[in-house]
Amino acid sequence: MPLDADDIRELHRFEIKTLLALERLMKRYRWVPEDVLRHRTGLSASELEYRLGHLMAMDMVKSSSVPYKGYQLVFRGFDALALHAVSRKGSVTALGCMLGVGKEAVVYEGMGLGPVALKFHRVGQQSFQTVRRSRTYMPEYRHFPWIFASSFSARQEYDALHALHGEVAVPVPVDINRNLIVMTYIHGCPIAQATLENPADVFEEVVENVQGAYALGYIHGDLSEFNIMVDGRQAWLIDWPQWVDPAHPSADEILRRDVTNVCTYFIRKYQLDISVEETLERVVG
């Protein structure tokens, strides 16, 4: 179910309190016991039951009766907390349409001081263990629900964007809260969906950006035609949560995969006379 700005705007303060309590308690419990939740919120049993019912109807919380009656915050509730927080700061003033859904993120358009993109990281249940093994920034918590993994994923991408913007063509990070990154909106599309009039020039621009990121200590880690965007003026590299440092034990392999993906795409679609080995040499200097 997509996020609804009206749902978030109309959340009662007791419902915000309940979502916040669930967020904190899920670091200790897989399913937060009802009595523990009632104690943490300070709400009466009837009030809590009513608020939980409303939150479950909006698909922000789910419940279980086995092995005891308990509750869990789910992604839509976590997204609501993040959006509520950035809207209070003024970073986001309006929520627009959903722009896309990926394996580990949902992106919406929005408004802040200008047009922005809102990227909600969602490290899902199926991919969680794979992500935890492959991304060294994931801490070893005993209780580590996917919503918290998503916060770490968002922080990883935000830090990369913050370090790279101004030197590499990436979206400018505006704000971060939990699993949400607010960034400048790029009015374009992935090169996979475009027919480039000047593919050789775009390829050169992409290589220069990859080279610039490498010089600053960042290897994208998941680069392909699906996360290189063009807007009619320039190319942009997006989606940075899987970046690695050039000192990473697998850095050479990861960089080679990135460069191979890009070269293969331009060779296949535009028949460019380019070499993976020569491109790699250019990137690493």
Which residues are marked as active site? 222
The CA distance from 205 to 207, in Å, is 5
In which element (H, E) is residue 162 found?
Answer: helix 146-164
Strand partners, 244: 219
Taking the alpha carbons at both ends of the chain, their separation in whole angstroms is 47
Provide the token pair at 116: 């922005």
Query: Could you give the residue ranges of the DSSP H alpha helices within 165-285?
Result: 199-215, 251-270, 276-284
3-state secondary structure of 75: helix
The CA distance from 71 to 74, in Å, is 10
- Select from 45, 75, 43 the least CA-distant residue to 59: 75
